[in-house]
């Protein structure tokens, strides 16, 4: 069974890579940029190349799904490079193919705020995808073989992206607001059932997250709570459109996390947030995927359906985009 975590952003150390192996994770989508420009992003990609060379017994770069399956056969974890914003493209379509050549395979259109491509989830809900750059960026990503990710986009931008993309769109890390409710700290990040239904109809996949700020019951999210949400999502949009995207992070200093929240454009976070929220004990430090799969087995999920949620759905979506 292939297991894919469609988003993590921990400080990348050997300890983390060892945890991936303990969690039997065959591929992880890692973040190489949020607010960085093209030069800063290339520098981070260079650092990842060094990490990959230094830890060849644990990790390997994924440019194709064949690379992911080869990693699984050799008991390693495939690293999928991605952006949580389109900032590194600098509104220059030529940079899409350039970053694809450098190994980037997934890019979010927006990270919470508005940019040249579209609107994030903290913006006016009426603002959507840019009809000029945003639409052309998606076309360029489709052509290059890069997954369009709308995890942090507002709903209007998400719907617009589904209309603009000729290939399946991803929500790599979010949860259904209809199942979680509006009381969790970052409910604005979660997605409505109409949007998830449209995503499924277009062939997309949502990666359900253990992140306490968006998970059912927040910091008190139990394994049963999480499995309830998986069941709800499967029942409402279909087994072929559900995966995992933990959004796990650890190791960043407070000032780094503050940088994610406000960048250079605000003196304070747009949404008041409490301090660091630890991930659920049952998930551990990304070692808990076998526990989650066992929890779903106990709910009656058969092995074929488990395999889809664990990684086969991402396999299909990534192949559809990467070729």
d(Cα 179, Cα 156) in Å, to the nearest integer?
A: 20
Q: Find out whether 118 and 130 touch, Cβ atoms under 8 Å.
A: yes
d(Cα 291, Cα 75) in Å, to the nearest integer?
A: 19
pLDDT of residue 277: 82
Q: Tens digit of pLDDT for each residue in 26-50?
A: 999 999 999 999 999 999 999 999 9
d(Cα 309, Cα 182) in Å, to the nearest integer?
A: 25
> Which segment of 38-52, 89-103, 226-240, 271-285 scores lowest on mean pLDDT?
271-285
* Token pair in block for residue 299: 């709910």
pTM for the model: 0.96
Tokens 């933990």, residue located: 246
* 275: CB partners within 8 A, 6+ apart: none
Q: Tens digit of pLDDT for each residue in 251-275?
A: 666 666 666 666 667 777 666 666 6
Average pLDDT for 99-106: 98
Q: Tens digit of pLDDT for each residue in 185-223?
A: 899 999 999 999 999 999 999 999 999 999 999 999 999
Average pLDDT for 88-100: 98
Pairing verdict, β 27-33 and 77-83: parallel
pLDDT of residue 1: 96
Residue 103's SS3 state is coil
Among candidate residues 166, 236, 158, 239, the one with its CA nearest the CA of residue 199: 158
* Domain locations along the chain: 4-322
Residue 208's SS3 state is strand
**56-62: long-range contacts (C-beta < 8 A, 24 or more apart)?**
58/14, 58/17, 58/18, 58/20, 58/21, 59/17, 59/20, 61/103, 62/27, 62/105
Which superfamily, per CATH, for 4-322? Metal-dependent hydrolases (3.20.20.140)
Tokens 């769109």, residue located: 169
d(Cα 243, Cα 263) in Å, to the nearest integer?
A: 30
Tell me the H-state helices in 55-130.
65-73, 94-101
Helix (H) or strand (E) holding 61: strand 59-61
d(Cα 182, Cα 213) in Å, to the nearest integer?
A: 11
């Amino acid at each position: 069974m292939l297991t894919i975590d469609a988003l993590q952003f921990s400080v990348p150390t050997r300890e983390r890579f060892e945890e991936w192996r303990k969690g039997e994770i065959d591929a992880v989508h890692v973040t190489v940029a949020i607010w960085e420009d093209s030069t800063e992003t290339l520098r981070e990609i260079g650092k990842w190349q060094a990490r990959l060379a230094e830890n060849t017994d644990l990790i390997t770069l994924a440019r194709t799904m064949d690379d992911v399956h080869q990693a699984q056969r050799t008991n390693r974890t495939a690293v999928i490079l991605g952006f949580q914003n389109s900032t590194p493209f600098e509104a220059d379509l030529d940079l899409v193919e350039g970053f694809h050549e450098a190994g980037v395979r997934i890019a979010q259109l927006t990270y919470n705020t508005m940019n040249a491509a579209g609107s994030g989830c903290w913006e006016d809900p009426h603002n959507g995808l840019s009809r000029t750059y945003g639409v052309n960026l998606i076309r360029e990503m489709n052509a290059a073989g890069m997954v369009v990710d709308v995890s942090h986009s507002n709903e209007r931008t998400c719907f617009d992206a589904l209309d603009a993309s000729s290939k399946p769109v991803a929500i790599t890390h979010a949860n259904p607001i209809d199942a979680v409710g509006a009381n969790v700290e970052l409910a604005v990040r979660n997605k409505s059932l109409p949007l998830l239904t449209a995503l499924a109809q277009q062939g997309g996949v949502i990666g359900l997250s253990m992140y306490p700020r968006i998970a059912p019951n927040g910091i008190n999210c139990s394994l049963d709570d999480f499995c309830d949400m998986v069941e709800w999502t499967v029942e409402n949009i279909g087994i072929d459109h559900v995966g995992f995207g933990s959004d796990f992070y650890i190791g960043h200093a407070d000032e780094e996390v503050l940088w994610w929240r406000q960048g250079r454009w605000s003196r304070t976070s747009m949404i008041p947030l409490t301090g660091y929220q630890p991930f659920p004990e049952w998930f551990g430090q990304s070692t808990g995927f076998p526990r989650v799969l066992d929890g779903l087995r106990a709910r009656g999920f058969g092995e074929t359906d488990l395999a889809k949620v664990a990684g086969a759905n991402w396999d299909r979506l990534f192949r559809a985009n990467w070729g």
